[in-house]
Amino acid sequence: MSRRRRAARLFLQIALGFLVATAVPVLVLRWVPPRASSIMLQREIAARLGSERFQLRHRWVPLREISPELAIAVVTAEDQKFPVHSGFDWDSIGEVIEAGDARPRGASTLTQQVAKNLFLWPGRSFLRKGLEAWFTILLEALWPKRRILEVYLNVAEFGPGVYGAGAASQRYFGKPASALGRRESALLAAVLPSPRRLHAANPSAYLLERAAWIERHAAGLGGRSYLSDL
């Protein structure tokens, strides 16, 4: 066998191994609730190594037991094109590129955030962004939109050590996620850009203003009916 054919064969073996190693976990998690995310584990390990106090609060809650008000509030705040895009918001990405913004805020979809939180690590390296794009493609290909939204609502960070709608609703409002109202849901969605700085139960003037914006724009999208076809 020639050197070129051996190199091609090795490349194909590596590519196949990478495909299996990444696609199988994604496929399994389509049905199996993840007990933790990569980001949760990294936060906990970093806190322990730094001798910091850290209590992980997380409890899986099926989408049917999460208030639709929280679902539409989060989509409004983070990714209004979620029901129709294929994992990437190309319009927002184009606007970021045109603006020359080196830190593309607002261009990351819910699917991309699930890919990062569930499988990867924080950072802006080309490797990390490339893997994020790959996992985003896998998630959109192998999961329905409802599953992407369900997992997002269960792994998103809503406060220091507080992950997912179940833990956040109990921690900040003393009620299950199914009982969250419109304002409470808007407050939780409003903390997502800076969950370790903003506090849903003790909102600042900025957070109250942002929550009001989310409520108005959620109504403009059609409210909870905007997600009825997922």
CATH of the domain at 53: 1.10.3810.10
Q: What CA–CA distances, in Å, run from 158 to 58, 135, 152, 162, 198?
A: 11, 23, 11, 6, 9
Answer whether residue 9 is part of any domain. Answer: no
Answer whether residue 140 is part of any domain. Answer: yes
Domain, as residue range, for 54: 33-227
Cα–Cα nearest to 163, from 51, 83, 44: 44
Average pLDDT of the chain, as a whole number: 91
Answer whether residue 16 is part of any domain. Answer: no
Answer whether residue 18 is part of any domain. Answer: no
Cα separation, 81 vs 86, whole angstroms: 9
pLDDT tens for each residue of 98-130:
665 544 445 799 999 999 999 998 888 899 999
Q: For 148-167, what is the mean pLDDT?
A: 96
Cα separation, 135 vs 114, whole angstroms: 9
Answer whether residue 1 is part of any domain. Answer: no
Predicted TM-score of the model (pTM): 0.92
User: So what's the pLDDT on residue 106?
Assistant: 54
pLDDT of 195 higher than 60? yes
Exposed, middle or buried, 192 (CB in 10 Å: 0-12/13-18/19+)? middle
pLDDT tens for each residue of 164-178:
999 999 999 999 999
Answer whether residue 180 is part of any domain. Answer: yes
Answer whether residue 186 is part of any domain. Answer: yes
Answer whether residue 202 is part of any domain. Answer: yes
Q: For 59-86, what is the mean pLDDT?
A: 96
What percentage of the chain exceeds 90 in pLDDT? 75
Tally of domains within the chain: 1
